[in-house]
Amino acid sequence: MVQDTNNNTIKYFTQNEMQKLFQAIKNSTSKHSLRDFAIIRVCYRCGLRASEIALIKLNNYNKEKGELYCQRLKGSKNNTIRLDSSTKKALDEYIKIYNISNSNEILFKSQENKPISRQTLDYIMKKYCKEANIQDKSKHHFHTIKHTTAVHLAESGLDIKELQWWLGHKSVSNTEIYFQFTTKQQEMMYKKLNEKNEMV
Q: Check if the beta carbon of residue 153 is closer than 8 Å to that of residue 179.
A: no
| 4 found inside a domain | no
Range in 110-114, 119-123, 181-185, 187-191 the model is least confident about: 181-185
Amino acid at 162: E
| 74 found inside a domain | yes
pLDDT reported for residue 157: 80
Number of domains in the chain: 1
| 104 found inside a domain | yes
Tell me, rounded to whole angstroms, the distance of Cα 17 from its chain centroid: 13
For the cut 90, the answer to whether the pLDDT of residue 165 exceeds it is yes
pLDDT band at 158 (very low <50, low <70, confident <90, very high): confident
DSSP element (H, E) containing 2: strand 2-3
pLDDT reported for residue 182: 62
| 2 found inside a domain | no
| 93 found inside a domain | yes
Alpha-carbon dihedral 60, 71, 153, 137, rounded to 10 degrees? -110
The runs of H, that is alpha helices, within the chain are 15-27, 33-46, 50-53, 85-97, 118-131, 143-156, 160-167, 173-176, 183-196
CA dist., res. 148 & res. 35, Å (int): 20
Average pLDDT over the chain, rounded to an integer: 90
| 33 found inside a domain | yes
pLDDT reported for residue 73: 95
The runs of H, that is alpha helices, within 47-108 are 50-53, 85-97
pLDDT reported for residue 196: 66
Q: Is the pLDDT higher at 181 or at 19?
A: 19
Taking residues 147-174, what's their average pLDDT? 91
| 6 found inside a domain | no
Provide the CATH number for the domain around residue 30.
1.10.443.10
pLDDT reported for residue 176: 85
Alpha-carbon dihedral 82, 83, 84, 87, rounded to 10 degrees? 180
Residue 11 gets the label, from left (phi > 0), alpha (psi -120 to 50) or beta, of beta
For the cut 60, the answer to whether the pLDDT of residue 198 exceeds it is no
| Neighbour-count burial of 129, counting CB atoms closer than 10 A to its CB (0-12 exposed, 13-18 middle, 19+ buried) | buried
- Which range marks the domain in which residue 38 is found? 11-196
| 3 found inside a domain | no
Range in 3-17, 38-52, 128-142, 153-167 the model is least confident about: 3-17
